[in-house]
Chains A and B, each alone.
Chain A
Amino acid sequence: MASINPANHGLRLAVRYAVLSIIAVVFLFPLVFMIMSSFKPDLQLLQDTGSLRAFLPVGDLSFENYREAFERAPVWTFVKNSIIVTGLTVALSLFFCSLAAFSFAFLNWHGRDTVLAVILATLIVPFETIAIPLLLLVSKLPWLGMDGIEWGWLNTYRVQIIPWVADGLTIFLFVQYFKDLPHELVEAARVEGASWWQIYSRVVMPLAGPVLATAAILKFLVMYNQYLWPLIVVQEESYRPVMVGLQYFFQLNTAWGEVMAYLTLITVPVLIFYLALQRAFIASIASTGVKG
């Protein structure tokens, strides 16, 4: 690098931007298509799909699809349900999985490595294989409610939340991250008189920002996209999440404009959540090498 040739340098920059732009466009096109289509009547929408017009705000634009989507389905109820289920699951999962991982990473107990191996082994079990046994289980479980013990968890929020709180992947992410933290920090805290809980809450978790962001986003995506499980455990509309709500738009004849309007609406919380965590997420990808 004796001397940088400005022309050459400019060219390289141009190529780099061109490549990045293509990648960005590839990822953005479906989103743009969805949003543009949500403002178009069905007939025009279908005609436009053959051309670039599909990505442009042209023709007969209106909020008609949105109005009809709200008429067809209780959109806000579904969004609210998904936010409640996803939010609580993410929060509980971060807490319990990090606690479990803390124990695997820092405490010495008999059989620790075996238990961890078993937990990691659950990663290869697809959910579909346990869905039915799990359904039978939760349909009989007790719950201490306002008026004493009730039996069966179907048609509730808890049936959508509790089975998803603990999972091998989240525990694994935390264990890996904790093992990479300098061990002396924990030892110094022990010598200083901190209890294990204090070490967890005051030393380890404040340093776990990146892994918290990674785990939160992965969990968020899983939970927000839940379909099979809520489909079989929730029959009441008032507890249905957004993905199950999509069914309302695929009956007899599909109104594609409304589908696009509905999809646009339910994407908004994802974008808000993602933007909020974006910086932490990028930092965490850079530092853990985990890709979402």
Chain B
Amino acid sequence: MATVKLTDVRKSYGSVEVIRGVNIDIEDGEFVVFVGPSGCGKSTLLRMISGLEDITAGTIEIDGRVVNDLPPKERGIAMVFQTYAIFPHMTVRENVAFGLTINRTPRAEKERKVQEAARILQMEHLLDRRPSQLSGGQRQRVAIGRAIVRDPKVFLFDEPLSNLDAALRMDMRMEIGKLHQKLAATMIYVTHDQVEAMTLADKIVVLKDGKVMQVGAPMELYHEPANLFVAGFLGAPSMNFIEVVVESVRGGEARVSNEALDPIVVSTRGRPFADGDHAILGVRPQYLRPVEDAAGKLHGIISLTERLGSETIVEVALKDGKPLIAALSEDRVYATGTRIGFDFDVGKAQLFPREA
């Protein structure tokens, strides 16, 4: 069990800087998820922590010790790969025991640990099989088993579930969650699936173009995103961004409006705005409530309805022609082409400066 600390970590490939000064503090036993769009550097960052990739600048500490120049095997980490990376010529038992065999663990202890891992992952009956005789989910279990038996200080997962189908992914996601509770180990988990991030994480690190956009607990990021990118990245359907004009700013509150939006007063959350600024109002689709057209704050015409059973997604063309998505909790058919108004809790709306 250990802490992990990244200080101004950078990585360049030739002249291209792909990790651009990352600072992250991970506490003992924490489950941290790195999320971000493809190519933002999640894997690179994880591989730098593992030691598979060397770092161009900055320091990485594991358990208070700088590991910049240590090879992977001396960092006390275990890693689970997206492609499982289990050895095809070995049985499941040999795969799980690989690290123990390498460091010459006595036979009895090795067998005990393998059995223990197999029990935790419910794969005792698979131990004598070969990887080719396993399903994707079972292979990933083997890879996790191989990580568990060595009692690493830190577990690293690089998109471990993205090669699995949707149903299996959910099962395995829950199992990884349980595993974290059971082992109480520090885990770093890379994914671009925001559901995995929201459900598993104690702390989410949102990355974009090699930079940290925001770090925080899942609900903190969901309710109080620090910027437009995080606001748009987390939550499904993603947050509505409505272009507004700031009419006036007073005492931490701004009065904003546009063609389709009656003037409202929202908190600036300390962000600087001036009268006449163009800004972005963020409203989650879930916060919109349908009301009589005349009564709502936003007005438009329904262009599409999708009924998912648990909720109904309604796409509306606002008066200024911009689309608006609402996620309504009731299962109801809204006729395309009818006028509709929406109300929302102003306290939950976010006001962002328009990005330059």
Q: Which residues of B contact A190 (CB under 8 A)?
A: 52, 71-73
From residue A196, how far is it (CB to closest CB) to chain B in Å?
10
Question: Which B64-108 residues have a C-beta within 8 angstroms of A?
Answer: 71-73, 77-79, 81, 83-89, 98-99, 102-103
Is B146's CB within 8 Å of the partner chain A? yes
Minimum CB distance partner of A199 in chain B: B102
Is A285's CB within 8 Å of the partner chain B? no
Contact between B102 and A193 (Cβ–Cβ < 8 Å)?
yes
Contact between A185 and B71 (Cβ–Cβ < 8 Å)?
no
Is B50's CB within 8 Å of the partner chain A? yes
Is B153's CB within 8 Å of the partner chain A? no
Contact between B88 and A192 (Cβ–Cβ < 8 Å)?
no
Q: Which residues of B contact A185 (CB under 8 A)?
A: 85, 87
Which of A187, A193, A207 is close to B99, meaning CB atoms less than 8 Å apart? A193
Minimum CB distance partner of B82 in chain A: A184
Which of B71, B81, B89, B103 is close to A188, meaning CB atoms less than 8 Å apart? B81
Contact between B81 and A192 (Cβ–Cβ < 8 Å)?
no
Contact between B102 and A192 (Cβ–Cβ < 8 Å)?
yes
Which of A187, A191, A193, A203 is close to B87, meaning CB atoms less than 8 Å apart? A203
Q: How far is the CA of A194 from the CA of B87 in the complex (A)?
A: 13
Is B5's CB within 8 Å of the partner chain A? no
Which of B71, B85, B98, B143 is close to A182, meaning CB atoms less than 8 Å apart? B85
Interface size (A, Cβ < 8 Å)?
A: 15
Q: Which residues of A contact B146 (CB under 8 A)?
A: 188, 192
Q: Which residues of A contact B50 (CB under 8 A)?
A: 191
Contact with A along B44-62 (1 / 0, CB 8 A): 0000001110000000000
Is B284's CB within 8 Å of the partner chain A? no
Check A191/B72 contact, CB under 8 A, given A182-B83, A184-B83, A198-B102.
yes
Check A192/B83 contact, CB under 8 A, given A206-B89, A207-B88, A207-B89.
no
Q: Which residues of B contact A194 (CB under 8 A)?
A: 73, 98, 102
Contact between A187 and B85 (Cβ–Cβ < 8 Å)?
yes
Which of A191, A203, A207 is close to B73, meaning CB atoms less than 8 Å apart? A191
Q: Which residues of A contact B51 (CB under 8 A)?
A: 191
Question: Which B103-138 residues have a C-beta within 8 angstroms of A?
Answer: 103
Is B299's CB within 8 Å of the partner chain A? no
Q: How far is the CA of A109 from the CA of B337 in the complex (A)?
A: 66
Q: How far is the CA of A284 from the CA of B295 in the complex (A)?
A: 74
Contact between A184 and B88 (Cβ–Cβ < 8 Å)?
no
From residue A151, how far is it (CB to closest CB) to chain B in Å?
45
Q: Which residues of A contact B141 (CB under 8 A)?
A: none
Question: Which B3-33 residues have a C-beta within 8 angstroms of A?
Answer: none
Is A255's CB within 8 Å of the partner chain B? no
Is A165's CB within 8 Å of the partner chain B? no
Is B150's CB within 8 Å of the partner chain A? yes
Q: How far is the CA of A188 from the CA of B88 in the complex (A)?
A: 13
Contact with B along A206-244 (1 / 0, CB 8 A): 110000000000000000000000000000000000000
Minimum CB distance partner of B77 in chain A: A191
Q: Which residues of A contact B143 (CB under 8 A)?
A: 188
Contact between A192 and B52 (Cβ–Cβ < 8 Å)?
no
Q: Which residues of B contact A191 (CB under 8 A)?
A: 50-52, 72-73, 77-79
Contact between B73 and A192 (Cβ–Cβ < 8 Å)?
yes
Is A189's CB within 8 Å of the partner chain B? yes
Contact surface of A with B, Cβ cutoff 8 Å: 182, 184-185, 187-194, 198, 203, 206-207
Interface CB pairs A-B, < 8 A, 7:
A184-B83, A187-B52, A187-B79, A191-B50, A191-B52, A191-B79, A192-B99
Q: Which 8 A-B pairs have the closest CB atoms?
A: A184-B85, A193-B73, A192-B99, A188-B85, A206-B89, A184-B81, A191-B79, A191-B72
